[in-house]
Amino acid sequence: MKSKNWIAFTASLTIGLATIEAQAQALSGYISVRNGITFRMADSTLDYRLFGIGGCEVNQIAHLNGLAWPCGAVATGWLTQLTLGYEIECLNEGRAEDAYATVLVRCFLPSGEDIASLALKEGMAWVLYHEGEPVVSEYLLTQEQARKERRGIWSSNFMLGNQLYRP
């Protein structure tokens, strides 16, 4: 009787590990940036969005000292410059609930640096929350440092969701 239980346990464990492995599927390739947090992999029709962060929309404007600046275009250019010509490694974190055919990913430069963390460090993005908690808690310190130093968007007035952020 014990051997049947052991076989059932081993089969369940194997199926569970295969599911986890499929969810954490690695992707790699060159990317085409669509905005400061979204891109397409070469030869793919899917959009990929950096997991745990949000950013200015492509046409979004922020204001610094009464002057408008295109925070969305700046973030898009920043991500393009950071990744152009590099093969990017990404881990699949699942599908976005709010967008058709969008895959949530954690991505890394060839140096191993986390792209979302770099975007937060430079003030090109902000931490996303779900049910009052940060989606990726380790990103909070990086964002708070960028805010404190008034880097990127944290230097300006801008719309964050439906609220106006003022430094």
The secondary structure of the chain, three-state, reads CHHHHHHHHHHHHHHHHHHHHHHCCEEEECEEECCCCEEEECCCCCEEEECCEECCCCCCCEEECCEEECHHHHHHHHHHHHHCCCCEEEEEEEECCCCCCEEEEEEECCCCCEHHHHHHHCCCCEECEECCEECCHHHHHHHHHHHHCCCHHHHCEEEECCEEECC
Which tokens is 101 given?
A: 């055919």
| Domain 26-165 -> CATH class | mainly beta
pLDDT in tens, 28-56: 999 999 999 999 999 888 999 999 999 99
Which tokens is 158 given?
A: 């801008």
pTM of this structure:
0.82
pLDDT at residue 156 above 90? yes
pLDDT band at 115 (very low <50, low <70, confident <90, very high): very high
pLDDT in tens, 51-103: 999 999 999 999 999 999 999 999 999 999 999 999 999 999 988 776 666 89
Q: What is the mean pLDDT of residues 91-118?
A: 90
Candidates 98, 99, 107; CA nearest to 51 is: 107
Are 85 and 73 in contact by the 8 Å Cβ rule? The answer is no
pLDDT in tens, 130-141: 999 999 999 999
CA distance 123 to 83: 17
